[in-house]
Amino acid sequence: MTRAKATILHVEDDPNDRLFVERAFKKAGVPVELCAVATGEEAVNYLSAEGPFADRKRFPAPAFILLDLKLTGMSGFDILEWARRQRASKLLPIAVLTSSREGTDVKRAYEAGATTYFVKPADTDDLHALIKTLAGYWFVHAKLPPSATVGA
Amino acid sequence: MVSVEDDPTKVDVAPWGKWLPVCAFEEPGKQVPCILDPLKGAFARQRMPQSRIRPENPSARSAATLRRAVVVLVDDRADNLTALEGALGNLDATLVRARSGEEALGRLLDEECACILLDVRMPGMDGFETAGLIRARQATRHVPIIFVTGFDPNREETAKAYALGAVDFVCKPVNPDALRAKVGVFVDLFYQAREARVSRIRYDTLSEIAPVGIFHTDPGGDCLWVNDRWCEITGLTPEQASGKGWAKALHPEDRPRVFDEWYLAARKDEPFRSEYRFVRPDGRETWVLGQAKAERDHVGRATGFVGTITDITDRRQAEKVTRDAKENLELQVAERTRELARSEEHHRLILQGSLDAVITMDERGLISSWSGQAEGMFGWREAEVLGRALEEILIPPRYREAHRRGMERFRSTGEGPILGKRVELTALRRDGSEFPVELSVTPLRSEGATTFSAFVRDLSERHRAEAVSERLAAVVRSSEDAVLTMDPQGTITTWNEGAERIYGYSSRDAIGKPVELIVPEQLRGEERELLAKVARGERVESYETVRCRKDGTSLDVSVSMSPLRDHEGRIVGASKIGRDITERKRAQERTRFLAHAAEILSASLDYERTVSQVADFAARSPLSDWCAVVLKEGDSVRQVAVAHRDPAKVEWAREFERRYPFDPAREKIVMDVVETGRPALFAEIPDALLRAGARDEDHYHAMKDAGMKSAMVVPLSAAGRVIGALTLVSAESRRTYTPEDLSLAESLAERAAIAFENARLYRAAQEDIARRRAVEEEIRALNVTLERRVQERTAKLSEALHELEAFSYTVAHDLRAPLRSMAGLSRILMEDHIGTADAEGQEYARRIVESGKRMDTMVQDLLEYSRIAREDLQLEDVDLGPLIREILAGLEADLAERGASVTVRDPLLVVVAHRSTLTQAVTNLIQNAAKFVLPGTRPEIIIGTESKGGVVVLSIEDRGIGIAPEHHERIFGVFQRLHDERAYPGTGIGLAIVRKAMERMGGRAGVESQPGKGSRFWLEFKQGGQG
């Protein structure tokens, strides 16, 4: 039986990085839908099924969040903290994918409730390997928590 | 009882004694008339005829008066009767025959029968019938019946006999002895009963007629019976007396005593005997003599008491009369005795009082009598001196001639110089010592011969007393203190020389005047109090007060008073000793003055204050009116203070000062004192002095007006130097300064000088301190400024640092992102858009990617460097051994790939470092050592440590390509590379990081190397493990 495709919400402001991650997931060949938003506000709206993302048919509730820390407006930390307060996203696996390797950021992310912390590799090959591992771990081997929509 | 003399003729009656007829008592109840001899205190009995009393012997039976017991023998047969008579013959009883029962009955009525022997078988009335009748009759019912029978009685008959009251049943033939015995018993019984009856009757009769009250009580004292006389005496009826009624009638005062005595007597089994009173119902008292004895049964138990009471009221009355008379007499006797004793004493005294020796001398001058006193006085016994020449015995040799002449004169003229007069002479004792005597000689003429009778009195005692008295008087006279005596009213009775001197009154002036003469008005009350105290017998000791002299001046005195007593101890006046203590007081004042000065001087260390206070003090004291202080200051002398007790005057003085300021040149006297250190005293300020000191006329007059009388100038010297002078001037007080005053002023000056010096030194010290404080203040202020600047700078640095951090952070993210994009997009181009055929395109895209990567590495390196450069490193001891091994383990793969061999020279030391930073630095160095080798060569790395004077050097040696000396410094710079990237890759940040790291850890880094000879990189640390 084919599993319904899981939706990953990718929160990333840099369009190049969005592109690279997209390609990486394609290459990984894992049955996931990648849905990208550029700002923290958009992420909140998506998770709340509000605004432009109200239509859950078009924008299914995510089973996983890939989160950059360095965003304009709301920071990744803010989103992390917010998401952990919502019933819908409390249990969601949230992986931080960010350029900072600062220990303080790592600590803070985990304290805010991040599931995993990844540093964006500079090398494309490294990125592919990361995504492949991640996808395989979470969407092939692991059991994801049931997703729910806030307000649904 | 008093003793009684039997023979009144032997009584010694004193001439003035009286014969007092009186009654004395030989025994209770026996009154015997006597006479009283008061002198002997004895009673002499008058002769009285004795009454004869016939003793009674109650135990003997009087046969004449009492009848014999009767025994009735009843039998009809005469022979039986005879037999019975025979058997009972020698009983002490009369035997009576009766031939029949009727006869027996008749007999019984006539006689009192002790016993009846009844024959049973009789004609007519038989024995039983007879017995019945005997029993029936009251008078005879108790007669003992003995049945006598010839036949064997059967039981029935015996029983009948006994039922009839028989006492016995005897069978014929009768056993005479047995019968006699039986009957004898009844005969005895009869007699005893009769006796008892008789006694009883006699007793009752006696009781009736006895003049004494008789009573019976039970053992508990309850009255059972009293006789009539008892009732008469006590006034009670028998009913009233019964039980304890009799006790109630006892006088309450006597009752307890009676009971006690009765009880005691009963316990001791002695007769009770006591005199006590009954109170009759009508209230009259009756004195009785009560006697009682216990009646005892055969085992000795008391069955009751029997006793008598005898009315002794009369006797007691008589006793009282006697007693009173006796007392009266005794009083009289005592009085007489006293009188006698007094007169005896009197005589004795008289005799004694002629303690005077009594000596008689005949015309020839020989001693004819010599009294006992003379013996004691002169030491000669009578026998030794009688007949000897008086002059030899009694008169000291030098007076003998005079004596003889006196005797001569008398012989010729009949007169003598000492005769009839009391003269004082010196007499001679036996032991040769002389003593004063008083002599009184009287010539006695009788029968033509003259005897001289002399009374000689020893005056030694008197003379001694007089001498003592004289000495005491001399003491008083010569005493420096005023000694006077007063009578209780306070009038002066004696007045010694001392008093004359001290108070100025002669004894003539003073004696007879009241003591108020010398007491100032306001103290008179006090004096009266003192007098009162002494009048009570108390002493007054050393009481300080004030007296006034004749000339009106007053003086301080210390007074002691004591009561004067006469020989009987009564207070007859007071004696008073007064001592002039003016001098003492003055000395006290001086001490006080100096003490006060010392107080002021030590009160403050303030220079100005001390000086002005001292001047003030001196001016206010009695010592002076004006006080001025001049002190040396540097080269000159300045008047520092001037004082007067009147502030107005001080003002005047200041004004004066201003107009005529102290000019050392002109103040010669003061300057003299200051220079020489010698004081100056002007008891009177001569006018010339004022003139000399005055600057002008006004000045002179001003000083004159001030009324300065006397002056002293004393030097103020401390520690051997003269620091100034103190001037004291008396004006208003008109005091004239004496050398004593000068010495006081010098004492004051001494203390003042020291105080001034101290104050000055203190002030100097204060100034020093103040100066030092000012400097300290400055320094403190500077420090504060410095501190602030440092803080500011630190803040700025901190700020800069934070900015740098933020900057680094930004760099980390923002710079790397585009690089990432570059690399990634180029890859996409390479993979998806530039055909594999387009080798150039591929190549260019590859180079873009490579550049991007390189730039990213450099950015990371820079980030690393900056992190090390700015981070605060916590240093700790790091053991290099384990650390190196860790690092080598981490680099294992890389080192293995290069085929590097690493030698570690153990043991590696402990250093002070930051662990992770050190790890980084060492990693860099080891990587370098592995990298910079000739291609194809296997790297050789040697790691070791050595300790050098407090530092530890870690060296990492290699056999690599080496470094030219001119580059040794350069290589530690940022991004400094000596070789082509392609040959030896790397950004060139490694060594910069190493050096920076070492710097941050408080150490150094350096290199020793030669091209082609390998390199030795060394890191210098602080030695670890020092604690």
What are the tens digits of pLDDT across the range A32-58?
Answer: 899 999 999 999 999 998 889 998 888
Radius of gyration of chain B (CA): 79
pLDDT at B52 over 50: no
Query: In DSSP terms, which residues pair with B113 in a beta bridge?
Result: B70
Asked if B821 lies within 8 A of A123 by C-beta distance, the reply is no
| Model confidence pLDDT, tens digit, residues B752-808 | 888 888 888 888 888 888 899 999 999 999 999 999 998 899 888 888 877 877 777
Q: Which of B802, B808, B814, B827 to mutate to test the interface with A (most CBs of A within 10 A)?
A: B827
Q: Looking at the predicted complex, does its ipTM rise above 0.85?
A: no
Question: What integer pLDDT is reported at residue B350 of this predicted model?
Answer: 60
| Among the partner residues B812, B824, B856, nearest to A124 by beta-carbon distance | B824
pLDDT band at residue B61, thresholds of 50, 70 and 90?
A: very low
Task: Kindly state the helix (H) or strand (E) to which residue B882 belongs, with its residue range.
Answer: helix B880-890
| Model confidence pLDDT, tens digit, residues B986-997 | 778 889 889 989
Asked if A99 lies within 8 A of B828 by C-beta distance, the reply is no
pLDDT band at residue B21, thresholds of 50, 70 and 90?
A: very low
Give contacts of A 110-139 with B, CB under 8 A.
Answer: 120, 122-124, 127
Cβ pair B158, B90 in contact under 8 A: no
pLDDT at B865 over 70: yes
> What one-character-per-residue DSSP string does B407-470 give?
HHHHHHHS--SSBTSEEEEEEE-TTS-EEEEEEEEEEEEETTEEEEEEEEEE-HHHHHHHHHHH
pLDDT band at residue B36, thresholds of 50, 70 and 90?
A: low
Mean pLDDT of B481-504: 88
* Nearest one of B866, B867, B857 to B987, comparing CA atoms: B857
Cβ neighbors of B265 (< 8 A, separation 6 or more) are B271, B272, B273, B292
Mean pLDDT of B80-99: 86
Tell me the percentage of chain B whose pLDDT exceeds 70. 92
Mean pLDDT of B874-880: 89
d(CA B62, CA B518): 118
| Among the partner residues B813, B824, B856, nearest to A16 by beta-carbon distance | B824
Contacts of B825 in chain A (CB under 8 A): 16, 19
Q: Which two tokens stand for residue B727?
A: 């001037």
* Tokens 């009492």, located at residue: B66
d(CA B492, CA B490): 6
| Among the partner residues B812, B813, B819, nearest to A122 by beta-carbon distance | B819
Asked if B827 lies within 8 A of A122 by C-beta distance, the reply is no
Cis peptide before B173 (omega within 30 of 0): yes
Cβ pair B277, B258 in contact under 8 A: no
Q: What is the mean pLDDT of chain B?
A: 82
Q: How far apart are the first and last CA of chain B?
A: 125
| Model confidence pLDDT, tens digit, residues B176-192 | 888 888 888 888 888 88
Cβ pair B631, B723 in contact under 8 A: yes
d(CA B369, CA B453): 9
Mean pLDDT of B386-411: 87
Question: What integer pLDDT is reported at residue B5 of this predicted model?
Answer: 46
Cβ pair B476, B499 in contact under 8 A: no
pLDDT at B56 over 60: no
Question: What integer pLDDT is reported at residue B715 of this predicted model?
Answer: 92
pLDDT band at residue B348, thresholds of 50, 70 and 90?
A: low
| Model confidence pLDDT, tens digit, residues B238-277 | 888 888 888 889 999 999 999 999 888 888 888 889 999 9
Q: Read off φ and ψ for residue B1023, nearest 5 degrees.
A: -65, 130
User: Residues in chain B whose beta carbon is closer than 8 A to a beta carbon of chain A?
Assistant: 809, 812-813, 816-817, 819-821, 823-825, 827-828, 849, 852-853, 856
pLDDT at B695 over 70: yes
Note whether A23 contacts B: Cβ–Cβ < 8 A: yes
Note whether A25 contacts B: Cβ–Cβ < 8 A: no
Question: What integer pLDDT is reported at residue B774 of this predicted model?
Answer: 92
Asked if A100 lies within 8 A of B856 by C-beta distance, the reply is no
Contacts of A127 in chain B (CB under 8 A): 824
pTM tops 0.80: no
pLDDT at B347 over 70: no
pLDDT band at residue A8, thresholds of 50, 70 and 90?
A: very high
Which residue of chain A comes nearest to B863, CA vs CA? A102
Cβ pair B614, B628 in contact under 8 A: no
| Model confidence pLDDT, tens digit, residues B568-614 | 788 888 888 888 888 888 788 888 888 888 888 777 777 788 888 88
Q: At what angle do helices A124-135 and A15-28 cross, to 10 degrees?
A: 60
Helix, strand or coil for residue B683?
Answer: coil
DSSP-derived secondary structure letter, B47: P
pLDDT at B157 over 80: no
Mean pLDDT of B208-217: 84
State the virtual CA torsion across B39, B45, B46, B50 in degrees, nearest 10: 180
pLDDT at B1020 over 90: yes
